[in-house]
Every structure is written in C-alpha cells, then in structure tokens.
C-alpha cells in the first residue's frame, strides 16, 4: 500500500507537470472554432501527448490514490466508500477526457470541421468540472476521516477540508466562462498537486502505523 501511494502520487504530479508544459500554448475555451481546430491540427503529436499525460495517465493515478486512501484511512465505512467511489469516478472521468481529447486532436489534424472540433473541445473542458467536483469530494471525505483518526497531521487534514469546497467551486470556471474562476482554478490546481504530494509523503512515512490501525479496525468491526 505504501508503494502504491508513492507510485500513484508521483505519477499524478509528474503527469500533470509535464502535460501542462506541453499544453501551455493551447487554445482557450472562448477561442473561435477556427483557432481551436488550427492549433490542434498544427500541434497534433504534442497535443496527443498532453491529453495522454494530463487525462489518461493522471486518471489511472487518481484511481490508485483513491484505493490507497481507502486502505490507509480507518473510520466510518460510509465516508470511506464515498471517498473511494468519488476517486474512482474522477479517474474514470479523466480517462474519458483523454478519449475525447485524442479524438478531437485526430479529427482536427485530419480535416474535420472546425465546429465539430470545438464541440469536442467544449465537452473536454466541461468534463473538468465533473472531475474536479469528484476530486473535491474525495479530498473532503479523506480529510474528514484523517482529522477524526489523527493519521494525517492536523494542518493537512484541516487544509483539505477548507480546500475541497474551493476546488469544487473553481471547477465551475468552464461552464460559467468566468475569468475570476479561471484565475481561481489555476491556484487550486496547484493546491491539488501540493495536497497529493503532502498525502504521499505522510503515507510513505507512516504506512506501517496505518496498516496496524486498519487491521485493528477490521478486527473490532
């Protein structure tokens, strides 16, 4: 379990960092259909690599992180199941985004209409709203369990409870097309990476203790 979290956390953070570097010059949601299609047609391979990293590989890592947290955190079963379900659903949604992203990039590079490419681009961006909301639920539930059980430092558990609703609200940037929320989203996505790093470090250092707590909880139940 310790190794799972280290690999999953490292993969998630690395995939996002390198994926965002590749996607840094990408189109904005309010760009015209012609501009969006032109970008993906001209940057086919770079865009496909970015979709694979940010959505595909990171999605698999999210699922692994959810499984790791479910094994690590003891407490109310309903909250643990919500945490696991939200994390797995977020990972699946992310993988779905990869499929949409790869499709729109291929279509743009092979002569599909600009309007159809923009439609898929909109679906891709709106998928972030769902994924971010699910991640917020996972973080909130994990932080609640950690605060009650004391297996996370208090600052990490408390910051997770505060951060989760802010993350969820910032995810509304795409459907609302709000500049304020876009700015908030950039900050909260950095916060998401830092939260994953913090949790990975804690579990990496404290896994033996947590396994004992989980085993004890299983016996008592």
> Does the pLDDT value for residue 218 go beyond 60?
no
Band (pLDDT 50/70/90 cuts) for residue 1 is: low
**What are the pLDDT digits (tens) for 104-159?**
999 999 988 999 999 999 999 999 999 999 999 999 999 999 999 888 899 999 99
Say how far apart CA 183 and CA 178 lie, in whole Å: 9
Q: What 3-state class would DSSP assign to 144?
A: helix
Its domain, for residue 32, covers 2-220
Q: What is the pLDDT of residues 79-101, one digit of tens each?
A: 999 999 999 999 999 999 999 99
Would you call 75 helix, strand, or coil by DSSP?
coil
Please count the structural domains in the chain: 1
Is the model's pLDDT at 221 over the cut of 50? no
Would you say 130 and 93 are in contact if contact means Cβ atoms under 8 Å apart? yes
Residue 25's pLDDT band, with cuts at 50, 70 and 90, is confident
Q: What is the average pLDDT score of the chain?
A: 89
């Amino acid at each position: 379990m310790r190794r799972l979290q280290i690999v999953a956390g490292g993969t998630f953070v690395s995939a996002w960092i390198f994926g965002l570097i590749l996607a840094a010059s990408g189109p904005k949601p309010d760009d015209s259909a012609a501009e969006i299609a032109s970008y993906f047609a001209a940057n086919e391979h770079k865009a496909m690599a970015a979709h694979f990293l940010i959505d595909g590989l990171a999605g698999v890592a999210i699922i692994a992180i959810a499984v790791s947290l479910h094994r690590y955190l003891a407490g109310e079963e309903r909250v643990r199941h919500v945490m696991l379900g939200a994390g797995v659903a977020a990972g699946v949604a992310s993988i779905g985004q990869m499929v949409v992203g790869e499709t729109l990039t291929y279509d743009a590079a092979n002569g599909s209409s600009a309007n159809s490419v923009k439609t898929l681009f909109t679906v891709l961006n709106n998928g972030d709203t769902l994924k971010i909301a699910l991640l917020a639920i996972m973080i909130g539930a994990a932080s609640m369990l950690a605060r009650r059980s004391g297996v996370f430092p208090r600052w990490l558990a408390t910051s997770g409870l505060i951060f989760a609703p802010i993350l969820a609200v910032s995810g509304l940037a795409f459907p609302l097309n709000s500049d304020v929320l876009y700015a908030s989203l950039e900050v909260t996505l950095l916060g998401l990476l830092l939260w994953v790093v913090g949790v990975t470090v804690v579990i990496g250092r404290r896994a033996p203790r947590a396994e004992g707590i989980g085993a004890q909880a299983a016996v008592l139940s």
